[in-house]
Amino acid sequence: MKVTTKPSLHASWIDRDASDIVRRLQAKGHKTYLVGGCVRDLLCGVVPKDYDIATEARPNEVRKLIFGSYVIGRRFRLVLVKRGDQQFEVATFRRASREEDFAEGEDTPVGDNFFGTPEEDALRRDFTINGLFYDPSNEQLIDYCEGMVDIDSRTLRVIGKPGDRIVEDPIRSLRALRLSHKLGFKIEPELREAVQSNAALLEKSVLPRRREEYLKILRLPSPGMAFIEMWDLGLLQACLPSIAAIFEDVHRQETFLNYLERIPEFCKDTSNPIELYALLVMALRASLEGTGFEGEKEETFYRLELGMFRSEWGEVEQALHLRHRLSDLEHFRRRGHRRQQAFLNHPGLHLAVRVGAFENELMPDQVFFWEQRLAGVPLPPRDPSKDLNRSTKSPTSVQESDQEIEDEIQTEAMTSDTLTEQRPD
């Protein structure tokens, strides 16, 4: 173990609530540290999105000592601490299981549910740079697995034998690739070989966990470069074969990567999966146009490869369908106030306007028109001269025209609902 008393980070950088939780537990005699990704990110000059805490206090002890906390999980028990809009995870130090932990004939416990020491907790983690602990009270950095050496050399290395760790959890292959691109680290050669040789294991890995990694990859500063490396390592072929097919054609690949480069332009909030999925769907349809990527084949991709929820797919599909109706502003103006409001309340309209603008299907004045309506700005008074032709129609014709609009809205809503219902969970 190496303890650095003057590490290259400072206690003032730490979230106050996180530091307060650590100090409260330490005041009761429990070793407690900030751990994992938050320490790694601070040392790499990245602002942490959350702060995880590890302590020798047991979950129920933490709950009693820290206000606003509650225990979650059955086998793997954690404590969540609420502070305003933030929440902090507090976990008891754990260790990997040992043979003597299992009595003959008993079922094997799920996960590493054995309490341990700080060193044992560090050594059970995936990468050396994630095994660093920080004590904000004493401003000490605790390094049990030479994580600082790898941070200084900007190297991503697993704790233990790379082949064993990847086989143990194939999702680590995606995590290794993502972290290397997020931090600008090189993947250690032996780890890279293990990732490549065990790529096929990803196909049988847990889809919800893959889904989370896909979303995090799409949030990277340059997701296109990450997808290229996924192809080079064979990961794309194993877990996203529909996207892998794009990389077999240089022109389709270029189209796909151009869309990914424009994620910051399209996504106002990358924490929202709907926005990322909408862009990805547009990228796939543009890249795979004319290949038969539609209908059941497309549904299978979203459900079994990407891990989209039915509600997410329904929202994206409704927006993509609705965008084709936004260029006819006169059609909207002719509707009565009630019908206009019903259309403006469509849940997919905001996204549809952005998709139409992004795909250059709407002119700037049309985009402005819809943004004004969605912001609640009323329509300006109509030019009476534009109603001359309409006024020459008989009352019956006007009534029929309004009925056609009503039928059209209802048909559109039914179509969107049907599209959603047809997508399996």
Find the DSSP H helices in 293-425: 295-300, 310-322, 329-333, 337-344, 349-358, 364-374, 388-391, 395-422
The Cα-based distances of 339 to 255, 326, 378, 402 in angstroms read 38, 15, 14, 10
In the numeric block, which tokens belong to residue 355? 């998709």
DSSP state of 305: I
In the numeric block, which tokens belong to residue 118? 């700080």
Q: Of 88, 82, 90, whose CA–CA distance to 61 is shortest? A: 90
Which residues have a catalytic role annotated?
50, 52, 126
Q: Are 160 and 127 in contact (CB under 8 A)?
A: no
Q: Are 269 and 275 in contact (CB under 8 A)?
A: yes
Q: Which residues of 89-122 are buried (b: 16+ CB within 10 A; e: fewer)?
A: bbbbbbbeeeeeeeeeeeeeeeeebbebebbbbb
- Residue position matching structure tokens 């130090």: 93
Cα dihedral 344, 346, 347, 352 in deg (nearest 10): -80
Contacts of 353 (CB under 8 A, 6+ apart): 323, 326, 362, 367, 370, 371, 374
